Amino acid sequence: MTSEIVRIGVFTSGGDAPGMNAAVRAVVRTALHEGKQVFGIRRGYQGMIEGEIDEMFHRSVSNIVQRGGTILKTARSQEFLKREGREKAHRSLTAHGIQGLVAIGGDGTSRGATALFEEFGIPIVGVPSTIDNDLYGTDFTIGFDTAVNTALEAIDRIRDTAESHDRIFLIEVMGRQAGFIGLAAGVAGGAEEILIPETKSDLDTLCKKVEQWSREKKGSRIIIVSEGDELGNAAEIGKKIAARTGADFRVCVLGHTQRGGCPTAKDRILASVFGNAAVQALLEGEKNVMVGEVNNEIVRTPLRETWEKKKPIAERLMRLYRVLSR
């Protein structure tokens, strides 16, 4: 490690994701292991603006690896969207002597970090943490695996009652602009149909399938709907199907349940690896990158690319679901 960085700041921003605490823990303890001081910034960019910054030690992150949410809290900051707000944030960081940042969050966090670096030159390394799994530059983001397993547990439970009543259930999962949760949970849960933003959803085709299920006297029928699907949300799609086919349906919106809960082993390990890798990147002189994992290798991707480039959906899973759902 050749970097002259002595004081490192760490913060979580945007939507919370299971595993954020494990990432914070890894950042703090790796920095201390390297003989650096580390400071926690509460409430993301808004806390950065308001100077909510405190030094952290080994005991500051004890007993948090298993906890969901984030001990550093998170917030949306309209003030940070303006240059004046970012200037305040920079002054606050300078006042505390912070020379480099680890930013834990999703695409909004990466956008903010990009602006902060490009305008003020402070070294920043991003850690991808969002249940949506939509950041370019990593196969998986922190929180995705837990969110999928949370959704899957609900799907399995709903399947029981759907089978008992020979009824259609539309289960809405998070994913306003990305269908990674919907596709993974749908394949794992044996869904009969998966509607996600990345693929064209056709109401005529969907209604024909519903009518076919009825003719075949198919019992449980599960339709997974990402909240950002072009046909609408689950309730809207259900009403459209009923209007055309007369089918009886129920809707279950999983909502924020997907964000909470203890992180899975996979998310805890991923967060620990990413937090450690982020500190190493800072100390090796990286200034504007996100650490990620591609094909089981740790990579570093320019921050701007992580939100400017579109991460593709797994086409092989789409093909697989179409075969298995028949």
pLDDT in tens, 92-146: 999 999 999 999 999 999 999 999 999 999 999 999 999 999 999 999 999 999 9
Q: What is the pLDDT of residue 210?
A: 86
**φ and ψ at residue 54, rounded to 5 degrees:** -135, 145
132 is catalytic: yes
Residue ranges of domains in the chain: 7-143+263-308, 145-259
Q: Encoding tokens for residue 89?
A: 């944030």
Q: What is the pLDDT of residue 167?
A: 79
> Sign of dihedral through CA atoms 250, 253, 257, 263?
positive
- 3 pLDDT tier (thresholds 50, 70, 90): low
Residue 1 has pLDDT above 50, yes or no: no
Span 145-259 CATH architecture:
3-Layer(aba) Sandwich (3.40)
- 292 pLDDT tier (thresholds 50, 70, 90): very high
Average pLDDT in the chain: 93
Residue 2 has pLDDT above 70, yes or no: no
* Cα 105 from Cα 314, distance rounded (Å): 22
Instruction: Give yes or no on whether 7-143+263-308 and 145-259 have one common fold.
Output: yes
Share of the chain above pLDDT 90, in %: 74
Within 10 A of 95 (CB to CB), how many other CB atoms are there? 10
* Cα 26 from Cα 21, distance rounded (Å): 9
* Cα 129 from Cα 124, distance rounded (Å): 15
Q: Encoding tokens for residue 246?
A: 């007369």
Helix axis angle, 83-95 to 107-120, nearest 10°: 70
The catalytically annotated residue of 16, 107, 132, 134 is 132
Question: Which of 309, 281, 288 has the alpha carbon at shortest distance from 118?
Answer: 288
- Answer yes or no: CATH 1.10.490.20 is held by domain 7-143+263-308: no
Q: What is the largest CA-CA distance in the chain?
A: 71
Single pTM value for the model: 0.93
Across-strand partners of 194?
224
